[in-house]
Amino acid sequence: MTGTDSPPCIDLKDIWTTYEGAAYPVIKGVSLRIAAGEFVVVGGPNGAGKTTLLEAICGLLPLVKGSITVCGREIPKEKIGILCDVGYVIQNFDFHPFTPYTVLDVVRMGRYGRIGWFSRESQEDLDAAMEALRLLRIDHLRDELIGTLSGGQQQKALIAHNLAKKPSVLLLDEPFSNLDVMTRDEVSSLLCDICESGVPVVMVSHAFDSLPRRDIRVVVMQKGKLVLNTTSQAGDVADIIRSAPVAG
């Protein structure tokens, strides 16, 4: 499946975004359509705007120009609705060893936005959290404090936090950065399954050795601009990113 033969789940039209207080735009005129079930890898040098692109898709950043539609909802009008629907695994986290939350607490939090202000968690919410823990194979760690886990286990807990949401779109920022080779393959296979179920996966990564063996859309960012948008196989991603044209 490609981005052109089905309606887009994510539709970016000439978007310009910036961080609050920044003097210049960080994303400059990016247009991108991502369809259901696509696996997208966003590459490019440090500071190219990859993380900013993911945050813009979530509606976390002010939109200076252009339009963003996610699953038929438009940012910023329906930002909260989009955030409830989008899973976003953040890049930087550093939990203190005595952070007073267990792994299960953290995974359950993924559903809190969906539950709403005055409602309590239902059995369905708890089941979704448990299922996410099982998918990541960390159900045995459910009662451990999040800060006592290794970086890789914390990373898995954060992925589970987002999977518990049952997201319609999954965004991941360097999901392999703390994972060992075996776990990378496990997570990669899980992401592949998620894609097969129709959920588009958009991943910022510099680790290309564990990408799933399937069609991958490669998007390359440079200096806030999209310089390459093509489809490839896992083994070619690194070379494609290296040979991407340089932004003016």
Partner 1 sequence: MLEFIIQNNVMCHAVEAMLFASIGCAILSVLITQMNISSIGFTMSHAAFAGGAAGVFFGFPMLLSAVVTSLATALVMGPLSYRTRMHTDTTLGVLFGTMMALAIFFIALMQSEGRGFDAASLLYGNVISLYREEIYALVVIACSIILLIVIFGKEISAITFHRKMAEISGIRVAPVYYLFLFLIAVNVAFCLPIVGGLLLYVWLVTPAAIVYQFCPTIRQMFLAAPAVAGCISIFGAVAGIVWSLPVGPLTAVLFSLVFVLAVAISPKRKVCRQIY
Write out the residues near partner 1 by the rule CB under 8 A: 20-21, 58, 60, 80-81, 83-84, 86, 88, 90, 93, 98-102, 105-106, 109-115, 117-118, 121, 145, 158, 161, 165
CB of 8 or CB of 110, closer to partner 1 = 110
Q: Minimum distance from CB of 6 to partner 1 (Å)?
A: 26
Q: Minimum distance from CB of 238 to partner 1 (Å)?
A: 29
- What is the CB neighbour count within 10 angstroms for residue 14? 11
CB of 199 or CB of 234, closer to partner 1 = 199
Q: Minimum distance from CB of 83 to partner 1 (Å)?
A: 4
Q: Minimum distance from CB of 67 to partner 1 (Å)?
A: 21
Q: Minimum distance from CB of 57 to partner 1 (Å)?
A: 11
Residues with Cβ within 8 Å of residue 118, at least 6 apart in sequence: none
CA distances from 142 to 52, 84, 201 (A): 32, 23, 26
Give dist(CA 217, CA 175) in Å, integer: 17
CB of 158 or CB of 234, closer to partner 1 = 158
Give dist(CA 4, CA 120) in Å, integer: 41
CB of 32 or CB of 84, closer to partner 1 = 84
CA distances from 110 to 89, 128, 163, 206 (A): 11, 10, 8, 26
Q: Minimum distance from CB of 85 to partner 1 (Å)?
A: 8
Q: Minimum distance from CB of 225 to partner 1 (Å)?
A: 24
CB of 79 or CB of 223, closer to partner 1 = 79
> Which neighbouring-strand residues pair with 69?
11, 74
User: Backbone dihedral region of 72: left (phi > 0), alpha (psi from -120 to 50 degrees) or beta?
Assistant: left
DSSP SS3 for 188: helix
60 contacts 221 by C-beta, under 8 angstroms:
no
Give dist(CA 239, CA 231) in Å, integer: 13
Tokens of 57: 């898709």
Can you say how many angstroms the Cα of residue 30 is from the centroid of all Cα atoms in its chain?
A: 18
CB of 106 or CB of 244, closer to partner 1 = 106
Q: Is 198 exposed, middle or buried (0-12, 13-18, 19+ CB in 10 A)?
A: middle
CB of 60 or CB of 228, closer to partner 1 = 60
